[in-house]
Homo-oligomer: A and B are copies of this chain.
Amino acid sequence: MATHPHTPDELQARAASLDDADPLSALRDRFLLPEGVIYLDGNSLGALPAAVPSVVADVVRRQWGTDLIRSWNEHSWWQAPLRVGDAIGRLIGAAPGQTVAGDSTSVQLFNALTAACRLRPGRPLLLTDPAHFPTDQYIADSVARVLGLRVCRVPVRELPRFLAGEGDRVAVAGYSPVDYRTGELYDMAATTRAVQQAGALMLWDLCHAAGALPVGLDATGVDLAVGCGYKYLSGGPGAPAFLYVAERHHAAFDHPLTGWNGHAEPFALDGHYIPAEGIARARIGTPPMLSLLALEAALTAFDGVDMGRVRAKNLSLTGFLMDCADTLLDGFGFTVVTPRDPGRRGSQAALRHPEAYALVQALGTHGVIGDMRAPDLMRFGVNSLYVSHRDVLTAMLRLREIVSAGEHRQESFRRRTAVT
């Protein structure tokens, strides 16, 4: 094992050696990243896969423009939600026929949580994490309201204790394996087991996991999962989300968003809803094809890629980032908040600093793109497909330059824009 590097030179040597040994380094060519940019915000919006522009241009000019309405058949647009769903399924450990792509995570959550509660009648509680991404909490509240149930906000760590007392009253528990702020990773298998042992259903929000961790939905016996297409899957801004429903629940999956695309015979145009067999019933309305087919093209960046290697590399990258922070940022007021234990972190590292906002702005002007979450967290997401250890080191070196020069205290970096 390498000794812990303590100087910038030692860190350079370490980065070079890690990158040289990286079996995934060639995947960088599958993305079109701008010159001179180090992109550590793929946990918010993934970079552009090289396969996307020509596919989108073809979808627009030839499929839509020339072949027009016939493309629903001729270019298999109609099958895209299930086809793209299966392509995502391969990355999250889901056998074919259990994943559908479409709509937003919020919409998928509404459908999935409502159906979950209907699968567990007589159980009045939905559980969510008070630290969960807001939309998960809002939608849980809304589902509880329409069904006359109640939401309990239970931190994932306290789930076992809560379930011991109230487990038989819980219909569904909706959690994320990764804390979107700190990058902390929770034990999916143990949590799933605890929830299911209480007789409840387990729903995972994989927004910060799909494409970064070998989630293993089937192997873990998860009931339901949702996630977005635009973070580690790099499907483009607002790319369609996905919904996974374990096959054993298909026949009884009874969802509220009964759009015509999910009908058993959509083109019979009958006035009464009969759900399609299998995951196809979770299709809703006509999907946004440009965005959906961009996502499909983006997923080819994973062709032949082993998710175990993706996982090993992002652990190496985040571990190295924290080493760099220890060495380079010592004394500048930063705290590493992401767990050092590889078993307890996802694919991002977060640093706490009271001037986080200004620092992220200043970094941007030096070609290093991360993001922040109020009030004081800097987030650096690492996508194993296009981020290198050298990138990580350069980012931390620039951060040190900025903070040591006090550059981030310029007025222009402190002014907030509408969206951060």
Contact = CB atoms under 8 A, between A and B. Distances in A.
A22 interface: no
B139 A259 contact: yes
Given A259-B104, A287-B104, A291-B291, A77 B134 contact: no
A92 interface: no
A64 B418 contact: no
A199 to B, nearest CB: 23
Most buried by B among A37, A132, A137, A240: A137
Interface residues of A, number: 92
B288 A106 contact: no
Interface stretch (A261-269, A311-319, A393-401, A405-413): A261-269
A7 interface: no
A260 interface: yes
A358 interface: no
A378 interface: no
Contacts of A268: 374
Most buried by B among A39, A64, A230, A268: A64
A106 B285 CA distance: 5
A284 B145 CA distance: 17
B260 A135 contact: yes
A418 to B, nearest CB: 6
Interface in A41-92: 41, 44-45, 47-48, 52-53, 56-57, 60-61, 63-66, 68-73, 77-78
Given A258-B142, A290-B236, A72 B419 contact: yes
Given A52-B60, A68-B37, A286-B238, A258 B138 contact: yes
A333 interface: no
Copy number in this complex? 2
Given A70-B364, A107-B257, A138 B61 contact: no
Interface string A364-395: 10000101011000000000000000000000
A60 B290 CA distance: 11
Given A114-B146, A134-B271, A284 B104 contact: yes
Nearest to A148: B148
Contacts of A68: 34, 37, 39, 41, 45, 47, 369
A126 to B, nearest CB: 14
Most buried by B among A230, A240, A284: A284
12 contacts: A32-B61, A34-B68, A48-B60, A53-B65, A70-B369, A73-B419, A104-B259, A106-B258, A135-B259, A142-B273, A241-B285, A291-B291
